[in-house]
């Protein structure tokens, strides 16, 4: 019998860790819990992740890569800055809703865990805001929206999205079906546009 490929084992550990962290939170989760959940030897877990912090950061990286991939794909399917920004918004909200345990780890559990985690969150926020900023700047250049500070606007949009998703993760409200129409209308108004009926 052959053993699973290292990449498969690594993903199995990450998937198990997501479930454990989502259930127990960062502080209460133990590496032994993740070993049991993954059904991998303790040595196998420590081979890929020398500690809980590295494993947690790897999960955050995985979620950021997934989010960035989905946003990039949504943007590539559209023409024009405004359409790309709204496509990215929709893809981002759909991703948070579809991957609730990952979103909870990123937006709730990683908060306040120390400077290393905060730097990682800031790096991911910067990547997300940079995507929005690029397409806001394109919309300005194409004359679709009036001139504005695209950097500040992009960070404000990220903050609004995170606040809405965090509230849902903690309380279950407002439901994901209500997010997109209200948020899209508010964000488009913030750049001087009214949504067409």
Three-state secondary structure string covering 103-157: HHHHHHHCCCCCHHHHHHHHHHHHHHHHHHHHHHHHHHHCCCCCCCCHHHHHHHH
| In-domain check, residue 108 | yes
CA angle 179, 17, 111 (to 5 degrees): 55
- Mean pLDDT on 169-190: 87
- In this structure, are 164 and 96 located in the same domain? yes
Kindly state the DSSP code that residue 15 receives in the 8-state scheme. Answer: H
- Mean pLDDT on 60-77: 87
The reported pLDDT for the residue numbered 151 is 96
The reported pLDDT for the residue numbered 106 is 80
42: CATH: 1.10.10.60
163: CATH: 1.10.357.10
- Mean pLDDT on 32-36: 94
The reported pLDDT for the residue numbered 195 is 60
| In-domain check, residue 197 | no
Kindly state the DSSP code that residue 51 receives in the 8-state scheme. Answer: S
pLDDT tens track for 72-119: 898 888 887 678 877 888 888 888 888 888 888 888 877 777 788 888
Rounded to whole angstroms, how far apart are CA atoms 100 and 119?
22
Average pLDDT of the chain to the nearest whole number: 86
- In this structure, are 91 and 162 located in the same domain? yes
The reported pLDDT for the residue numbered 197 is 47
CA angle 47, 64, 103 (to 5 degrees): 95
């Amino acid at each position: 019998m052959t053993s699973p490929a290292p990449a498969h084992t690594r993903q199995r550990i990450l998937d198990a860790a997501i479930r454990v962290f989502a259930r127990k939170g960062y502080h209460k989760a133990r590496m032994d819990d993740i070993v049991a959940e993954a059904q991998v030897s303790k040595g196998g877990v420590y081979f890929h992740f020398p500690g809980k912090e590295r494993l947690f950061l790897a999960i955050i990286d995985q979620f950021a890569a997934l989010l960035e991939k989905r946003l990039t794909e949504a943007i590539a399917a559209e023409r024009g800055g405004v359409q790309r920004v709204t496509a990215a918004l929709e893809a981002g909200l759909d991703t948070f809703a579809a991957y609730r345990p990952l979103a909870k780890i990123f937006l709730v559990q990683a908060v306040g865990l120390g400077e290393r985690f905060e730097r990682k969150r800031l790096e991911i926020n910067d990547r997300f805001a940079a995507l929005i900023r690029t397409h806001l700047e394109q919309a300005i250049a194409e004359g679709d929206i009036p001139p504005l500070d695209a950097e500040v606007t992009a960070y404000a949009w990220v903050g609004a999205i995170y606040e809405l998703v965090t509230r849902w993760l903690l309380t279950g409200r407002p439901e994901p079906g209500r997010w997109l129409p209200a948020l899209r209308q508010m964000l488009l108004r913030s750049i001087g546009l009214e949504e067409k009926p």
